[in-house]
Amino acid sequence: MERTGKNTEGVELLKRPPNHSRSLWESFSHAWEGLAYTYRTERNMRIHVFVASLVVAAGIALGLERTEFLMVIVAIAAVLSAEVVNTLAEYFVDLMKPEYDEIAGIAKDVAAAGVLLTSVFSVFVGVVAFYPALFDMEARFRALLEKRWPFLLLHFFVAVTPSFAGLLICAQKSPSRSEDFRTSREEDRNCSIRRKG
């Protein structure tokens, strides 16, 4: 992890007037832009999303109970949220300390540690949720073939395939952190899975 900030115009960014949302729709729009930016620029976020799609696919295939499935979803949401907070911390440190600074490096390491702890917790939750299914594999496999296979197929088309494509496409199109947020929005169009041509 780099221990220097990459934004050499951090002070100028602080002088910009605050951008207050005028409506609830604009608030959601800004939140979506932040989430898309994190997905585009953070390789680990794309990996988390892809792994999460595979875990959900395994939950559908094994027919997890509602409580177990909810445990898995909460764990996934916690990991993704931790990654968003980690990205926020890294950019904030880059904004405040564009030059080399040991404290800035420690702050980034601590933020990354939060993601690590959340990921370890999610693995523990996954073991607890999936463990009972291991003793009833034959019956669950029959139920998959009889009832759940359309849901699994739909999930592969809606979640697994797009997240895998995003993992590959955005890895090639990902903007560097030194670029301005406005430039990254233009890159978002090129990084879209449904891009033209």
Return per-residue pLDDT of the chain as tens, 197 residues: 555 555 555 445 455 555 555 688 888 888 899 999 999 989 999 999 999 999 999 999 999 999 999 999 999 999 999 999 999 999 888 888 777 788 888 888 999 999 999 999 999 999 999 998 888 888 889 888 889 899 999 999 999 999 999 988 887 665 555 454 444 445 444 554 444 44
* Structure confidence at residue 158 (pLDDT): 94
Cα–Cα dist 197/191, whole Å: 12
Asked if residue 90 belongs to a known ligand binding site, the reply is: yes
Catalytic: 83?
A: yes
- Angle at which helix 24-41 crosses helix 43-62, to 10 degrees, equals 100
Please tell me whether 42 is known to bind a ligand.
yes
* 83 annotated binding-site participant: yes
Q: CB atoms < 10 A from the CB of 32, how many?
A: 10
Which is nearest to 26 in space by CA: 34, 38, 14?
34
Which candidate, 1, 3, 5, places its Cα nearest to that of 177?
Answer: 5
H or E element, residue 168: helix 161-173
Residue given tokens 């585009």 in the structure block:
40
CB 151 within 8 A of CB 60: yes
pTM: 0.75
Q: How confident is the model at residue 180, as a pLDDT?
A: 44
Among residues 2, 33, 65, 83, which one is catalytic?
83
